Amino acid sequence: ETGHAAWLRYAPLPASVARQYSAPSTVVALNISEVDPVYTAGQELQKGIQGIFGGKVTVANTNISLSSPAIIVSTLGQYVKAYGSETAGHVPELTDDAFWLDTTGDTVQILGQNGRAALYGAFEYLSLIAQGNFSKVAYATAPDAPIRWVNQWDNMDGHIERGYGGDSIVFSNGTIKNDLQRVIDYGRLLASIRINGIIINNVNANATLLNPKGVDGIGRVADALRPYGIQVGISLNFASPSANLVYGNLTTFDPLNQTVIDWWTNVTDTIYDRVPDFAGYLVKANSEGQPGPLTYNRTLAEGANMFASALKPHGGILMFRAFVYDNHINETNWKADRANAAVDFFRDLDGVFDDNVVVQVKYGPIDFQVREPPSPLFAHLRQTGAAIELQITQEYLGQQCHLFYLPPLWHSILDFDLRSDNKSTLVSDVVSGKRFNRTLGGYAGVVNVGVNDTWLGSHLSMSNLYAFGRLAWDPHGDSETILQDWTRLTFSSDPAVIETITDLSLESWPTYESYTGNLGIQTLTDILYTHFGPNPASQDNNGWGQWTRADADSIGMDRTVSNGTGFSGQYPPEVAEVFEDISTTPDNLLLWFHHVNYTTKLKSSGKTVIQHFYDAHYAGAENAQTFATRWERLKGKIDDQRYNETLFRLRYQAGHSIVWRDAINEFYHNMSGIADEAKRVGSHPWRIEAESFDLDGYDVYQVHPFHTASNFTGIV
Ligand code: BDP
């Protein structure tokens, strides 16, 4: 199997299991047209049941007697029209995108508040039976938040920024592809995890997408995804009005200039003419060199509201990214801190954004690192809709070459209680809108699937996409339960498969954290370019503000109010107090908040910081060595192709974790001059150096960074 079918394989159940249930062979889909997601639901039920149980399933769109064994899928409204309101008396009130699933009678009922909700219900039913779960159930379920979107970082030339699964499924050669079959297949996957919106292009956006050909392309993508209940939106370049487009080239992009406002209104109207259900815009402004309202001394809110007003008459949403910072920060300034930027920029703007603006906030204050506290901005958006930006793409987390099951990390943020006004303020309750009574809010996941058959480049990484949808619907979902559902659907219900994938996945975060950067120092990866592989030296002496502040004696960012950058003071008082004080800061965020000597002892273990570094990097890499061998237990229990491709990646990870271990340990050993108590770091007695071989056709060279090879040399 290539992985293309992901968790929607509808593989036949073993006969002994299939025998326990008789799925109806008639599906009634009360759809109004073929672009109605209810129609898609009918087709999906047919395909799924035929795959899982064999036999033939017929789909009708006329009503049948309610006592015949059948599956009825419909919106609640259509159902009532067909059968009368008395037949729906038992269905509780359904809020937006909610559905009712009832398998207790002869007729399975799948009723959605709207078309896409009916489709969600169909996928839910299929997911249960595909796992051999035939229990009689009757329940309604509703999303925690209205915005459940994915963000693609696809460039118009077909390359994907931070994409590790091949080129774009949407774009090639500067335009939207003619063949959108992969987009349709992706839409099906997304609908099955209840995603209702997609931003199709990179946040570092290209204005030419707004040209007529681009707008028509957006329309074709929207047409392709409409049957899946997914609305399409795009990222915008703030300077588009002066980018020489057919709508007239202006000399300014000042958001308060009337010609600029008219320009955007015109563009927006043009898009809505082609795509009446267009979702809205995503804007990255004044960040990493991108243009924005600050260029004209306008506030970020003035910039955001310009788009929001253009979208408002059409019901569109403006997602405005809080990832605003200057990437030329002066490192010699001890008080400078990129982590402060989001709250500094947005704190005073709460209450002045239009009501169709949602501020999209990365989960942590820096940038998708292996360990971050939650962004304190979530506590400051009381009168503004907020969405959390999560990254399914493992940009800093091994780029799909290292196993990293993300939900436990996401839970560390979503479940965090910010204690605004000394009251429970879970991040998940902020983004759902519950905590501050907002109607808009939710989840944005950076996905970056590509044309690779595996979608993300790695089979096991797909658990993250699946889990993203599940958590966006219900942020209280248990990481392990979600993973096991995914495993059963993607691979098998074999207990060895479930156990192995569960164990490896749940160990993956602590393992990766141990060998890449622990105690809250963040991922010690190459910061300037690749974001892959160890390069702790690059974490200082750069303008990007991802600093460790390491020197010969000490390490860590002092982010306290008393001595440091003041970041800890951006949290509500109860939380600020915890992080301000080194004795109450958890060890796993110690170096995030405090600058300490290498010889400082940890509360948890009594070890020094430097010895913890050495030991953790050894322990993490050692555990990574076991992943491939534990996976080998599954030979013959899953198909050869996915077995082998996964084994290849886990073996790569085993090797690369050693590169990580040694590079980081050598670097800090060299910098601090403090010996490893276990005498491993600095000497590799068991190693045979490549340059010690008789070299035929190879030359010895000095590697850079030096600490990525023992003796600082490699062969080429
Ligand atoms: C950084 C990525 C960069 C993105 C940026 C963003 O390295 O490619 O453009 O985030 O989110 O982490 O805007």
Q: What share of the chain is helix, strand, coil (3-state, %, to 5)?
A: 40, 15, 45
- Tell me whether residue 672 is in a domain: no
- The answer to whether the beta carbons of residues 667 and 703 sit under 8 Å apart is no
Which atom of ligand 1 lies at the shortest distance from residue 290's CA? 13
Give the CATH number for residue 355: 3.20.20.80
| pLDDT at residue 685, as a whole number | 66
Distance 291 CA to ligand 1 centre (A): 15
* Helix orientation angle between 181-192 and 212-225, rounded to the nearest 10 degrees: 50
- What average pLDDT score do residues 570-592 get? 98
- What average pLDDT score do residues 158-175 get? 98
Closest CA to 408 of 257, 517, 509: 509
When divided into structural domains, the chain yields a total of 3
Distance 590 CA to ligand 1 centre (A): 25
Residues 137 and 161 placed together within one structural domain of the fold: no
The pLDDT tens digits for 36-45 are 999 999 999 9
- Tell me whether residue 404 is in a domain: yes
- The answer to whether the beta carbons of residues 353 and 359 sit under 8 Å apart is yes
- The answer to whether the beta carbons of residues 251 and 244 sit under 8 Å apart is no
631 DSSP 8-state letter: H
Residues 57 and 84 placed together within one structural domain of the fold: yes
Distance 651 CA to ligand 1 centre (A): 28
Cβ of 203 closer than 6 Å to ligand 1, yes or no, is yes
Residue 63 belongs to domain spanning: 15-141
SS3 (DSSP) at 51: helix
Tokens describing residue 637: 């229990």
The span from the CA of 234 to the CA of 170, in Å, is: 12
Distance 616 CA to ligand 1 centre (A): 28
Cβ of 436 closer than 6 Å to ligand 1, yes or no, is no
Residues 229 and 94 placed together within one structural domain of the fold: no
Residues 349 and 428 placed together within one structural domain of the fold: yes
Residues 329 and 217 placed together within one structural domain of the fold: yes
Active-site residue flag, 677: no
The pLDDT tens digits for 358-375 are 999 999 999 999 999 999
| pLDDT at residue 682, as a whole number | 84
- Tell me whether residue 304 is in a domain: yes
Q: Per the residue annotation, which of 288, 453, 499, 587 is the catalytic one? A: 288
Say what percent of the chain tops pLDDT 70.
Answer: 100
Biggest CA–CA distance in the chain, Å, is 86
Distance 30 CA to ligand 1 centre (A): 44
- As a whole number of Å, the end-to-end CA separation of the chain is 37
Tell me the DSSP string of 252-291: ---TT-HHHHHHHHHHHHHHHHH-TT--EEEE--SSTT--
The pLDDT tens digits for 600-652 are 999 999 999 999 999 999 999 999 999 999 999 999 999 999 999 999 999 99
Residues 257 and 321 placed together within one structural domain of the fold: yes
The span from the CA of 612 to the CA of 610, in Å, is: 5
Cβ of 162 closer than 6 Å to ligand 1, yes or no, is yes
Between 2 and 64, the higher pLDDT residue? 2
- The answer to whether the beta carbons of residues 45 and 73 sit under 8 Å apart is yes
Tokens describing residue 125: 């039913």
- Tell me whether residue 214 is in a domain: yes
| pLDDT at residue 541, as a whole number | 85
Domain end residue (candidates: 481, 498, 526):
481
Cβ of 532 closer than 6 Å to ligand 1, yes or no, is no
The pLDDT tens digits for 539-563 are 888 888 899 999 999 999 999 999 9
Mutate to test the pocket of ligand 1, among 152, 238, 323 (most ligand atoms within 8 A of CB): 323
Bin 105: left if φ > 0, else alpha if -120 < ψ < 50, else beta.
beta
Residues 166 and 125 placed together within one structural domain of the fold: no
pLDDT of 76 > 90? The answer is yes
What average pLDDT does the chain have?
Answer: 96
| pLDDT at residue 322, as a whole number | 98
Q: Which residues, 6+ apart, have CB-to-CB distance to 562 below 8 Å?
A: 580
Give the CATH number for residue 61: 3.30.379.10
Mutate to test the pocket of ligand 1, among 151, 283, 395 (most ligand atoms within 8 A of CB): 395
Q: Taking the model in full, what pTM does it have?
A: 0.97
Report CA Rg, the chain: 27
- Tell me whether residue 693 is in a domain: no
Q: Per the residue annotation, which of 36, 254, 367, 580 is the catalytic one? A: 367
Active-site residue flag, 558: no
Give the CATH number for residue 539: 3.90.1330.10
Cβ of 161 closer than 6 Å to ligand 1, yes or no, is yes
- The answer to whether the beta carbons of residues 235 and 201 sit under 8 Å apart is yes
The span from the CA of 587 to the CA of 604, in Å, is: 7
Cβ of 159 closer than 6 Å to ligand 1, yes or no, is no
- Tell me whether residue 125 is in a domain: yes
Give the Å distances, CA to CA, from 699 to 696, 704, 708: 8, 15, 17
Active-site residue flag, 395: yes
> Quick one: which H or E segment has residue 72?
strand 70-75
The pLDDT tens digits for 281-335 are 999 999 999 999 999 999 999 999 999 999 999 999 999 999 999 889 888 888 9
Cβ of 362 closer than 6 Å to ligand 1, yes or no, is no
- Tell me whether residue 676 is in a domain: no
Which atom of ligand 1 lies at the shortest distance from residue 204's CA? 9
pLDDT of 686 > 80? The answer is no
The pLDDT tens digits for 237-281 are 999 999 877 777 899 999 999 999 999 999 999 999 999 999 999
Say what percent of the chain tops pLDDT 90.
Answer: 91
The span from the CA of 194 to the CA of 83, in Å, is: 27
Q: Which residues, 6+ apart, have CB-to-CB distance to 68 below 8 Å?
A: 26, 106, 107
Residues 41 and 160 placed together within one structural domain of the fold: no
Domain end residue (candidates: 141, 169, 189):
141
Between 331 and 495, the higher pLDDT residue? 495
Residues 110 and 243 placed together within one structural domain of the fold: no
Residues 26 and 64 placed together within one structural domain of the fold: yes
Residues 288 and 429 placed together within one structural domain of the fold: yes
SS3 (DSSP) at 583: coil
Which atom of ligand 1 lies at the shortest distance from residue 446's CA? 11
- Tell me whether residue 711 is in a domain: no
pLDDT of 215 > 70? The answer is yes
Domain end residue (candidates: 460, 481, 502):
481
Distance 645 CA to ligand 1 centre (A): 28
Distance 202 CA to ligand 1 centre (A): 10
The span from the CA of 683 to the CA of 598, in Å, is: 20
Residues 458 and 585 placed together within one structural domain of the fold: no
Cβ of 262 closer than 6 Å to ligand 1, yes or no, is no
